[in-house]
Amino acid sequence: MDLELIIGIVSSIVVLVLAFLVLAGLGDNLISGYNTASAEKRAKYDLPRLRLVTGLSVIVVTASVWLLLLFKASEMAMGVVMCVEIVFIALANILFTKK
């Protein structure tokens, strides 16, 4: 097995565990921006939905990285997939996390 593939799979497993912690409500301090926001700014967000969108976004990105590594996709393909995912994740956060 390729070292790059092994590192990708191991790091994906770690990130998936963190995503499931966020989904379970045990990783609110892992949500960037929310953990440093003031109490009045935190009140503007629907925390269960924020957890859901963040956790699912991380799972989707991790799964796509794992599949790209598994099928030995080119670096250009990885970059394109990541850019598209970042746009969709940003839109999902904007649309679904505000109260």
In the chain, where the domains are located: 3-96
Average pLDDT over residues 39-64: 89
Quote the pTM value.
Answer: 0.78
For residue range 54-94, list pLDDT tens digits in order: 999 899 888 888 888 777 777 788 788 888 888 888 888 78
Pick the range with the lowest mean pLDDT from 32-41, 44-53, 65-74. 65-74
98 vs 81: which has the higher pLDDT: 81
> How many CA atoms lie less than 13 Å away from 33 in the CB half-sphere?
9
Query: Under 8 Å CB-to-CB from 12, ≥6 apart: which residues?
Result: 62, 63, 65, 66
